[in-house]
Amino acid sequence: PQSEKSSKIARKRFVHDTIKYAHDTVMPRIEEIHKLGVFSLRGIARELNARHVPTYQAHLMDMEVSTRDPAKARPLWSAETVKRAIANAQKPIPKINIKAK
Protein backbone atom coordinates (compact mmCIF):
# COMPACT_ATOMS: atom_id res chain seq x y z
CA PRO A 1 0.00 0.00 0.00
CA GLN A 2 0.95 3.63 -0.50
CA SER A 3 1.01 4.33 3.26
CA GLU A 4 3.65 1.62 3.76
CA LYS A 5 5.82 3.24 1.08
CA SER A 6 5.35 6.65 2.71
CA SER A 7 6.40 5.32 6.12
CA LYS A 8 9.53 3.70 4.62
CA ILE A 9 10.47 7.00 2.99
CA ALA A 10 9.82 8.86 6.25
CA ARG A 11 12.01 6.38 8.15
CA LYS A 12 14.85 6.79 5.63
CA ARG A 13 14.54 10.57 5.91
CA PHE A 14 14.62 10.37 9.73
CA VAL A 15 17.74 8.17 9.72
CA HIS A 16 19.42 10.49 7.21
CA ASP A 17 18.56 13.61 9.21
CA THR A 18 19.67 12.23 12.59
CA ILE A 19 23.02 11.09 11.20
CA LYS A 20 23.52 14.40 9.37
CA TYR A 21 22.66 16.35 12.55
CA ALA A 22 25.23 14.31 14.48
CA HIS A 23 27.87 15.00 11.81
CA ASP A 24 27.17 18.68 11.24
CA THR A 25 26.01 19.98 14.62
CA VAL A 26 26.93 17.68 17.48
CA MET A 27 30.41 16.38 16.65
CA PRO A 28 32.01 19.80 16.10
CA ARG A 29 30.78 20.76 19.59
CA ILE A 30 32.01 17.50 21.10
CA GLU A 31 35.42 18.08 19.52
CA GLU A 32 35.53 21.52 21.20
CA ILE A 33 34.61 19.88 24.51
CA HIS A 34 37.33 17.25 24.06
CA LYS A 35 39.88 20.07 23.70
CA LEU A 36 38.88 21.14 27.22
CA GLY A 37 39.80 17.67 28.47
CA VAL A 38 36.25 16.42 28.94
CA PHE A 39 35.82 12.90 27.59
CA SER A 40 33.21 11.17 29.77
CA LEU A 41 29.72 10.86 28.32
CA ARG A 42 28.20 12.56 31.37
CA GLY A 43 30.72 15.39 31.20
CA ILE A 44 30.05 15.91 27.49
CA ALA A 45 26.29 15.90 28.18
CA ARG A 46 26.75 18.55 30.90
CA GLU A 47 28.79 20.72 28.51
CA LEU A 48 26.33 20.36 25.63
CA ASN A 49 23.47 21.36 27.94
CA ALA A 50 25.50 24.30 29.31
CA ARG A 51 26.19 25.45 25.75
CA HIS A 52 22.48 25.13 24.86
CA VAL A 53 23.15 22.68 22.03
CA PRO A 54 19.75 21.12 21.30
CA THR A 55 19.29 17.38 21.12
CA TYR A 56 17.92 16.21 17.78
CA GLN A 57 14.43 16.01 19.31
CA ALA A 58 14.74 19.55 20.71
CA HIS A 59 15.96 20.66 17.28
CA LEU A 60 12.77 19.24 15.75
CA MET A 61 10.73 21.06 18.39
CA ASP A 62 12.52 24.31 17.50
CA MET A 63 11.60 23.74 13.85
CA GLU A 64 8.00 22.99 14.94
CA VAL A 65 7.97 19.59 13.22
CA SER A 66 8.22 17.36 16.28
CA THR A 67 5.45 14.99 17.23
CA ARG A 68 6.54 15.25 20.88
CA ASP A 69 3.96 16.64 23.30
CA PRO A 70 4.97 20.31 23.76
CA ALA A 71 3.71 20.15 27.35
CA LYS A 72 6.55 17.74 28.19
CA ALA A 73 9.88 19.06 29.38
CA ARG A 74 12.36 19.96 26.64
CA PRO A 75 14.74 17.04 26.08
CA LEU A 76 18.27 17.53 27.40
CA TRP A 77 21.50 15.72 26.72
CA SER A 78 22.26 12.64 28.81
CA ALA A 79 25.12 10.16 28.64
CA GLU A 80 22.91 7.90 26.50
CA THR A 81 21.97 10.61 23.97
CA VAL A 82 25.65 11.60 23.67
CA LYS A 83 26.54 7.95 23.09
CA ARG A 84 23.91 7.69 20.33
CA ALA A 85 25.03 10.93 18.67
CA ILE A 86 28.65 9.75 18.62
CA ALA A 87 27.56 6.40 17.16
CA ASN A 88 25.51 8.21 14.49
CA ALA A 89 28.43 10.49 13.64
CA GLN A 90 30.58 7.42 12.94
CA LYS A 91 28.12 6.26 10.26
CA PRO A 92 28.24 7.59 6.72
CA ILE A 93 25.41 9.94 5.85
CA PRO A 94 23.01 7.80 3.82
CA LYS A 95 21.82 8.92 0.44
CA ILE A 96 18.10 9.23 0.00
CA ASN A 97 16.53 8.22 -3.28
CA ILE A 98 13.02 9.55 -3.41
CA LYS A 99 11.50 9.27 -6.84
CA ALA A 100 8.74 11.74 -7.57
CA LYS A 101 5.73 10.50 -9.48
- 38-69 pLDDT, tens per residue? 999 999 999 999 999 999 999 999 999 998 99
Give the CA count within 13 Å in the CB-facing half-sphere of 71. Answer: 0
What is this structure's pTM?
A: 0.86
Give the rounded distance of the alpha carbon of 41 from its chain centre. Answer: 16
- 10-31 pLDDT, tens per residue? 889 999 999 999 999 999 999 9
Q: Which amino acid is at 35?
A: K
